Amino acid sequence: MIDSNKEVVSIDLNVKLLTPAWTGDANEKCKRIHETGIIGSLRWWFEVVARGLGGSACSLDNHECSFDEQKYRSIMKNSLDKMRALSKAGLCPASQVFGATGWKKRFQLDADSNELKEIMEESRFLPSTRPHNGNPGGWYILPGMISVRDKRKDKHGTSKLSIRWSDKDELNKNLLLAVFRLMENWTGVGAKTTNGYGVFKVENEPQVNLPGWNPFLDSQNTIENKNGILPELKDFFFSVIRFKPYDNWWKNFKEIQACLSKTVNIEGATINISRRNPLTSDDAHKWLEHQCFPSSYIIRNWLRYSWSHHLGQGTESFIFGTAANDVCPQCYERLFSKKSHCGVILTKEKILSKVRSKIGLSHAYQQSGNANDIWEFRLWGYLPGQGKLEHLKLKLKKNAGTGKGEDFQREEFLENLQEAVLENGALWSSADGFKAVGRCQGVVWREFNSSRDTVGLSSDPWEFFKSLVKGEGLCC
């Protein structure tokens, strides 16, 4: 909420969804866009930017900020700038914008879902074609909300996002808009973005005015990245991968073929999956009519179980996540006793319950401005720098198998990953990948202080952030 005695400006954004957005309610349904889902993803990325640019930020999981109004007023008497004063009064940059104990959120967001609809009527099963505890493994594709497409005008509807902001706080307003622009260019909005949802385009781009200096350097407070694994911008890579699909390309994925036949071959046995409610041809065409396709699960399946199958189990879980609730925080191997594979004896409190994936993949979609036959998808992620991995004494192994072996090397992994998605890389030559799906039409790769960056090496975090906000490298 914004204080009533402050002048308020309204910023209206017309947002076209390129892949369905998911902002589910308490009943795990998504009949409209829920503002809390948008705000939650905005805050998460704002924290990532703040940490990566030299500031500090508490996390969504553990809010540590509490505003000391008396201290703030005392500091402001000495004419310090507001952002620094708020930091010294107990608020990290994210809490200054999104609120904390004793401090209201600086903006209000409203979303209009009138020109959106569910892309499917219900969730549909997509088999992985791999066994899981003796049964067919896979995922359920959620319906999600998509912009309605008018075929006659070849135009999509939009969702109107209204942001009401205090006119007196131009810096944080522009920082928020800049973070939103970063999400627009490279990731997505709402929940489940790492599983393909929420790619969007703002059709009436607002002007974003960022200063020539890095404001986060003046916003440090007592919060620290205590475990070193909280995501920060400098540890991220962002990629957009374009391809020209063959005729009926979507039918060439083995996962889709299993859906259409309603059968999966598991260890020599043919299992009928009709009761799992698999994706149908009609469902697939609904996605295609909206110029997108639920490929995120398929590409992740290839990345994890075909391309990187050689990784140690713990390293695989560290990078791609796991739903297991008994994981060692040092080697990330699954525990079968209190003693881990790496020899560490753990108390119950130290055992990890699930590990989030550090790799994000969008569904495939057709971007505005691309030729009609060119599609693309997004791949992004974060891996702590090698120095952080060593400082944390993580025992991640490069190759499968427990015990002794070469340590995991971040640089080598990212080098191989980029090589795999580039033209003539493993993704385009693998039968389980895109060999029968389409041909690579170019890859944009952004990464801080790296020769892999296709725009150019950038060693200044603030300039790198501004480049991401501008979308440099994305021009077709």
Q: Are 469 and 277 in contact (CB under 8 A)?
A: no
DSSP 143-206: --EEE-EETTTTEE--EEEEEEEETT-HHHHHHHHHHHHHHHHHS-SSB-GGGT---EEESSPP
CA angle 148, 154, 155 (to 5 degrees): 45
Residue with tokens 């620290």: 224
Task: Please state the pTM of the whole predicted model.
Answer: 0.93
Q: Name the helix (H) or strand (E) containing 391.
A: helix 386-391
Distance (Å, rounded) from C-alpha 95 to C-alpha 43? 9
- Please, which pLDDT band fits residue 5 given cuts at 50, 70 and 90? very low
DSSP symbol at 339 = B
In this predicted structure, the answer to whether residue 283 has a pLDDT above a threshold of 70 is yes
Question: Is 97 in a helix, a strand, or coil?
Answer: helix
pLDDT-based confidence at residue 3 (cuts at 50, 70, 90): very low
User: What domains sit in the chain, N to C, each tagged with a CATH number?
Assistant: 8-115+158-218 (3.30.70), 234-470 (no CATH)
Task: Tell me the pLDDT band of 4, cut-offs 50, 70 and 90.
Answer: very low
- Comparison of pLDDT for 211 and 168, the residue scoring more: 211
Share above pLDDT 90 across residues of the chain, in percent, rounded to a whole number: 59
Reference 441, options 242, 247, 240; nearest CA is: 242
As given in the structure block, the two tokens for residue 34 are 């829920």
Q: Is residue 138 a contact partner of residue 8, using CB atoms and an 8 Å limit?
A: no
Angstrom distance (rounded) from CA 130 to CA 7: 58
- Name the residue with higher pLDDT: 246 or 312: 246
